[in-house]
Amino acid sequence: MWLAMFKPLFKSKKFLISILIFIFIVLLGLVGPILYPVDPTSYAGPFERPPSREFPLGTDTYGGDLLAKVLNGTKTSLYIGFLTAVISMSIGIIIGPISAIKGGVVDEILMSFTNIVLTIPNILLAILIATYLKVRSAEVIAFLLGALGWPWFARAVRSQLLSLINREYVKLSRMAGYNDLRLAFEDLIPGIATYAFMSFILFINGGILGEAGLSLIGLGPTKGVSLGLVLQWAVLMEAVRRGIWWWFVPPGVIIVALTSSLLMITTAMDEVFNPRLREK
Amino acid sequence: MPILTVNNLTKIYESGMIIRRYIEAVKNVSFSIEEGEIVSLVGESGSGKTTTANIILRFLKPTSGEVLVDGKDIWKDINTFEDLKEYRRKVHAVFQDPFSSYNSFYPVDRVLYQALELLDKNPRTQESKSLMEDALIRVGLEPKHILGKYPHQLSGGEKQRLMIARCWLIKPKLIIADEPVSMIDASTRGGIIKLFEKLKEEENTSILFITHDMGLAYYISDKILIMYLGEIVEQGTPDEIISSPRHEYTKNLIGSIPTLYRKWE
Amino acid sequence: MNRPVLQIENARAYYIVENNYVRAIDDISIVIREGEVVGIVGESGSGKTTLSNVMLMNIKRPLSLIDGKVKLYSNGNVIELNKLSREELQKNIWGKETSIIPQSAMNALMPTKKIKDSILDVMKTHFEEIHEKEIIEKVQARFEEVGISKDVIFRYPFELSGGMKQRAVIAIATLLNPRFLIADEPTSALDVSTQKMVLKTIQDLREKEIVKSIAFITHDIATVRQIAETLVVMYAGKIVEISSIEDIIKEPLHPYTRGLLFSVVTPEPEVKKRGIYYIPGTPPNLMYPPPGCRFHPRCEYKLDICDKEEPKLKDVNGRKVACFLY
């Protein structure tokens, strides 16, 4: 069933191109640091050198190896994105269905809470909280972004489930004596699975961009490297004005390629799975 | 003993958290259906007929009143999963929209598998297979053209026939047919109506036929109930209702239906 | 016999989809005469809505008129609508000579504009110069003629009930007293008591000679029976029978007409006596219509010739039917 469902995806050129870009960057982050085992935080050599045989992406003001920084930074950024998505998703996937199935007062309380979180400008709150934390690990950043990003997803899951529950085939399954668990696995989850999957991708995106945003204003992780941190130092040392392009171009390109490939994956999926957009 | 007895059924919807509003969808509705009887519930959209159906099908709890199936109260006398299963074998339904009656992830066989499972039969045995084929032939479908297909590969009429095949497997005592032909092309409607008639004749099935179409109700039923704003305002045999309607709403309704064999003044 | 108002000669109108033709209208000829209400019935997909577009010459891609003529008889002149450009039609024909009450009158009015403003917009496409006050007075008079209050003109569409909206659209569509009016399923979205009212309104249009003739398109024979004298039965892009409505109800000739008529159930004793019928199978895909008579795969009276040759419309006792049984 699942195989048949996802088959048409691989006929979409947009999907194939974007998934290849995404896989390439993931490999860069996962396999890169193993193939190029240079410590990204050590002082490797001369400072502000353009790319050369010895330092393929050059060095920064402190003599750090930029290739090592970008490879490890990609890994951290992906890790933060993924963790953010897991956190947001878990909260949304608990609140949305409870709200939809319980209804009544439970629904109203949960949805009021969701709406409150939804109205808080979350990057602002993230900035406020981050300022108070002296030590910020990658996990803390992911938690901050994840805990603020879930409301729209919870609301969407709730409304989708509400419409599914009243669908006639769900009633017919109940009439055939299905219990709640079987109903959920056979009729409800498949109905929201593609949407949840697409949301997960968007959450990863939000995590990566959120981390970059926080890092750029100096509120990123306090240890390790991430793409956002590399960019932050490039900005601090006025790399753009001084023309040290090898410092800010590679991390910038990776962030743009990563987030736009993820967005393209979701739009391609939308075209395939959303009957209204389906091209005939 | 009637197969279905509905006594003083009322359903009030509440909404709003601080300022509560109440909507009476069904008001004090009582009627009964005998074995082998077709009773039509006629009303326009919003008259409460689908809410009534949902209560009888145990999808919705009434605010007050009781529903007895075969003498058992469907809320008080169903306590175990076995009781519920027994009730589901007695009361089944055919819905309005043949497209949303099927989950598009699965082949259409699923609706028959579900029926067999309800009867505690393994759908994958040879016996089950011949039961399914027999049910399909009874509703005028060719098994090899239907089994294994996905919902979008069948026409609306075929899907609705398949729903009735499901009823042939379960052989319920009562079928709630909620506007079963309103989304089917006029020229193929008659075939579906005939299948309901056949179920009644051969299996003595009782049918609650919910419709907005007075012509259909007149044609198919032994008794007609007219529902208006949540209440049953009038009931009687089809000929009584058509020739001497008493309630204003019924009079107006019957006067407005275009007739085939007479031209309006 | 009265003078003709609109005449279609051997029209073929196809939808072009992926280099393939959907033969929605295939070789149809029809004459609509002064003072006549013609009912056009058929199932969904029979081509009846496409036919209404051909009558208006409202042809937009992917639909195109492959062959045939659409003639309008106007004060002794014959205008070949198929030779006019869209701009000419918009300026001189639509609204003035021919008009349509669309299927979804609910959506025919702009929801964000008062009815008055929608009307003025339409008028601006017909005339260089308009006198607002004059038009409003004229519309108000027409509103009262169709049985709605003249204040309706200052309302927004959402403030009106379905029946009022439908009658407002009828009033606007016939404001310039068009010779020929098409009503495309004008009552199918309304509840029964409103249906009757709207039907009466349309009948009045002809009695008051606001319009000369009407083509009433529907899938419901019982509705059209109340208003039309002549019935045109369409199946899969072809006309299968043309007769007076009384004759068809007494004795349908074409097997399709018979099936369609006998599948109608109304609350009348005759229906119980007659029983309910249905036509097996589904209408054909018009991209690949069956050879010979397009109805033969669903016909219970099929002869050997039916899948080989195409039956032509021929006279049978003053009626017209396209079937080899006659």
Q: Let me know if residue C126 belongs to a domain.
A: yes
Give me the pLDDT at residue A274, please.
Answer: 67
Q: Let me know if residue A8 belongs to a domain.
A: no
Q: How many residues in chain C? A: 326
C307 and C296, same structural domain? yes
Mean pLDDT of C222-247: 95
The residue among A76 and B224 whose pLDDT is bigger is: B224
A partners (3+ CB pairs within 8 A) are: B
Rg value, chain B, Cα: 19
Q: Let me know if residue A7 belongs to a domain.
A: no
Best residue of B45, B145, B187 to probe chain C, by most C CBs closer than 10 Å? B187
Structure tokens at C185: 């399923």
Percent of chain B residues past pLDDT 90, beyond the cut: 82
Confidence band, pLDDT 50/70/90 cuts, at residue C218: very high
The residue among B94 and A31 whose pLDDT is bigger is: B94
Q: Using an 8 Å Cβ cutoff, are C170 and C198 in contact?
A: yes
Residue ending a domain, among C121, C145, C177, is C177
Q: Using an 8 Å Cβ cutoff, are B193 and B219 in contact?
A: yes
Q: Using an 8 Å Cβ cutoff, are A235 and A216 in contact?
A: yes
C152 and C91, same structural domain? no
Give me the pLDDT at residue A278, please.
Answer: 47
C264 and C121, same structural domain? no
Q: Which of residues 85-124 of B touch A (CB under 8 A)?
A: 85, 88, 92-93, 95-97, 100-103, 105-106, 111, 114-115, 117-118
Q: How far from chain centre, in Å, is Cα C20?
A: 26
Neighbouring residues of A25: CB distance < 8 A, sequence distance ≥ 6? A74, A78, A254, A257, A258, A261
Sheet containing B21-33: which strands, arranged edge to edge?
Answer: B21-33, B4-15, B64-69, B72-73
* Cβ contacts of A168 on chain B, cutoff 8 Å: 95-97, 100-101
Q: Are B103 and A190 within 8 A, CB to CB?
A: yes
**Alpha carbon distance C252, C246 (integer Å):** 10
For A155, A169, B137, B161, C270, the CA distances from B168, given in Å and listed in that order, are 41, 18, 10, 10, 31
Give me the pLDDT at residue A224, please.
Answer: 79
For A11, A41, A80, the CA distances from A223, given in Å and listed in that order, are 43, 9, 13
**Alpha carbon distance B55, B75 (integer Å):** 10
Q: Are C196 and B214 within 8 A, CB to CB?
A: no
- Looking at residue C51, the DSSP 8-state letter turns out to be H
Query: Of A236, A79, A91, which Cα lies nearest the Cα of A142?
Result: A79
Burial of C83 (0-12, 13-18, 19+ CB in 10 A): exposed
Give me the pLDDT at residue A2, please.
Answer: 58
Residues C113-134: tens digit of each pLDDT: 898 888 888 788 777 788 888 8
Other Cβ atoms within 10 Å of B139 Cβ, number: 23
| Nearest CB to A169 within list B81, B101, B115 | B101
Q: Which of residues 12-41 of B touch A (CB under 8 A)?
A: 17
Q: Let me know if residue A2 belongs to a domain.
A: no
Give me the pLDDT at residue C189, please.
Answer: 77
Neighbouring residues of B88: CB distance < 8 A, sequence distance ≥ 6? A175, A176, A177, B118
Q: How many domains does chain C have?
A: 2
Full domain range(s) for residue A65: 13-46+55-273
Query: Of B158, B148, B159, B58, which Cα lies nearest the Cα of B99?
Result: B159
Other Cβ atoms within 10 Å of A185 Cβ, number: 11
E-state strands within chain C: 4-17, 20-33, 37-41, 63-74, 77-80, 98-101, 180-184, 213-218, 230-235, 238-244, 314-316, 319-321
Closest-CA distance of chain B to residue C6, Å:
27
**For C222, nearest residue in chain B (alpha carbons):** B260
Residue showing tokens 């036509």:
C279
Q: How far from chain centre, in Å, is Cα C253?
A: 22
- Looking at residue B48, the DSSP 8-state letter turns out to be S
Full domain range(s) for residue C155: 108-177
Helix A138-149, helix A66-102: angle, nearest 10: 30
Rounded mean pLDDT of chain C? 91
Sheet containing C314-316: which strands, arranged edge to edge?
Answer: C98-101, C180-184, C213-218, C37-41, C230-235, C238-244, C319-321, C314-316
Q: How far from chain centre, in Å, is Cα A6?
A: 21
Phi and psi at residue B115, in whole multiples of 5°? Answer: -65, -45
Give me the pLDDT at residue C38, please.
Answer: 96
Q: Let me know if residue C326 belongs to a domain.
A: no
Closest-CA distance of chain C to residue B119, Å:
32
Confidence band, pLDDT 50/70/90 cuts, at residue C105: low
Q: B261 and chain A: CB distance < 8 Å anywhere?
A: no
* Cβ contacts of B214 on chain C, cutoff 8 Å: 192, 267
Query: Of C272, C246, C198, C187, which Cα lies nearest the Cα of B243?
Result: C272
Q: Are A177 and B88 within 8 A, CB to CB?
A: yes
Residue showing tokens 């299996």:
B203
Q: Are C263 and B186 within 8 A, CB to CB?
A: yes
B189, pLDDT greater than 80: yes
Task: Transcribe B203-232 into DSSP letters.
Answer: H--EEEEEES-HHHHHHH-SEEEEEETTEE
Structure tokens at A178: 């299905």
**Alpha carbon distance C195, C213 (integer Å):** 20
B29, pLDDT greater than 50: yes
| Nearest CB to B59 within list A167, A169, A171 | A171
Q: Are strands B91-94 and B72-73 parallel, antiparallel or unpaired?
A: unpaired
Q: Are strands C4-17 and C63-74 parallel, antiparallel or unpaired?
A: antiparallel
Mean pLDDT of C212-228: 93
Give me the pLDDT at residue A165, please.
Answer: 86
Query: Of C260, C226, C274, which Cα lies nearest the Cα of B219?
Result: C274
Give me the pLDDT at residue A70, please.
Answer: 86
Residues linked to residue C215 through DSSP beta bridges, in sequence order? C38, C182
Could you read off the pLDDT tens digit of each residue along chain A, which spans 280 residues?
556 666 777 778 888 899 999 999 899 888 888 888 777 777 767 777 777 777 777 777 777 788 888 888 888 889 999 999 999 999 998 888 888 887 778 888 999 999 998 888 877 888 888 888 877 888 888 888 888 888 989 999 999 888 888 889 999 999 998 888 888 888 888 888 888 888 898 999 889 888 888 888 888 787 778 888 888 888 888 777 887 788 888 888 989 999 999 998 888 888 777 655 544 3
**Alpha carbon distance A86, A81 (integer Å):** 9
For A235, A252, A254, B82, B235, the CA distances from A216, given in Å and listed in that order, are 8, 12, 16, 63, 75
Q: Let me know if residue A280 belongs to a domain.
A: no
Residue ending a domain, among C143, C177, C211, is C177
Other Cβ atoms within 10 Å of A229 Cβ, number: 26
C210 and C123, same structural domain? no
Give me the pLDDT at residue C107, please.
Answer: 73
Q: Which of residues 12-31 of B touch C (CB under 8 A)?
A: none
Residues A85-131: tens digit of each pLDDT: 999 999 998 888 888 887 778 888 999 999 998 888 877 888 888 88
Amino acid letter for position A125: L
C202 and C245, same structural domain? yes
pTM: 0.83
Q: Are B190 and C268 within 8 A, CB to CB?
A: no
C294, pLDDT greater than 90: yes
Instruction: Kindly list the residues of chain A whose beta carbon comes within 8 Å of any beta carbon in chain B.
Output: 1, 5, 105, 108, 167-169, 171-179, 186-187, 190-191
Helical H segments across chain C, by residue range? 48-56, 86-88, 115-126, 132-145, 162-173, 192-207, 221-225, 245-250, 255-262, 269-274
Query: Of B249, B229, B212, which Cα lies nearest the Cα of B23?
Result: B229
Residues linked to residue C30 through DSSP beta bridges, in sequence order? C8
Give me the pLDDT at residue A280, please.
Answer: 38
Amino acid letter for position C127: F
Residue ending a domain, among C177, C209, C227, is C177
Residues B131-171: tens digit of each pLDDT: 999 999 999 999 999 999 988 889 889 999 999 999 999 99
Q: Let me know if residue C270 belongs to a domain.
A: yes
Residue pairs spanning A and B at CB distance below 8 A: 48
C190 and C170, same structural domain? no
C168 and C184, same structural domain? no
**Alpha carbon distance A208, B171 (integer Å):** 58
Structure tokens at C306: 């039916």
Task: Indicate the range of A34-48, B57-71, B108-122 predicted with least confidence.
Answer: A34-48
| Nearest CB to C192 within list B186, B193, B253 | B253
Q: Using an 8 Å Cβ cutoff, are B188 and C45 in contact?
A: no
Mean pLDDT comparison of A89-93, B11-15, B205-209, C172-176, highest-scoring range: B205-209
Query: Per CATH, the architecture of B4-256 is what?
Result: 3-Layer(aba) Sandwich (3.40)
Give me the pLDDT at residue B140, please.
Answer: 92
Task: Indicate the range of A111-120, B10-19, C30-39, C40-49 predicted with least confidence.
Answer: B10-19
Q: Using an 8 Å Cβ cutoff, are A87 and A143 in contact?
A: yes
Q: Let me know if residue C102 belongs to a domain.
A: no
The residue among B116 and C95 whose pLDDT is bigger is: B116
**Alpha carbon distance C139, B19 (integer Å):** 44
Q: B82 and chain A: CB distance < 8 Å anywhere?
A: no
| Nearest CB to B263 within list C226, C267, C277 | C226
Task: Transcribe B118-180 into DSSP letters.
Answer: HTT--TTSHHHHHHHHHHHHHTT--HHHHTT--GGGS-HHHHHHHHHHHHHHH--SEEEEEST
Q: How many domains does chain A have?
A: 1
C165 and C314, same structural domain? no
Residues linked to residue C33 through DSSP beta bridges, in sequence order? C4
Kindly state the helix (H) or strand (E) to which residue B9 belongs, with its residue range: strand B4-15
Give me the pLDDT at residue B73, please.
Answer: 94
Coil/strand/helix, residue C81? helix
Residue showing tokens 């819905």:
B95
Give me the pLDDT at residue B8, please.
Answer: 96
CATH code, A41? 1.10.3720.10
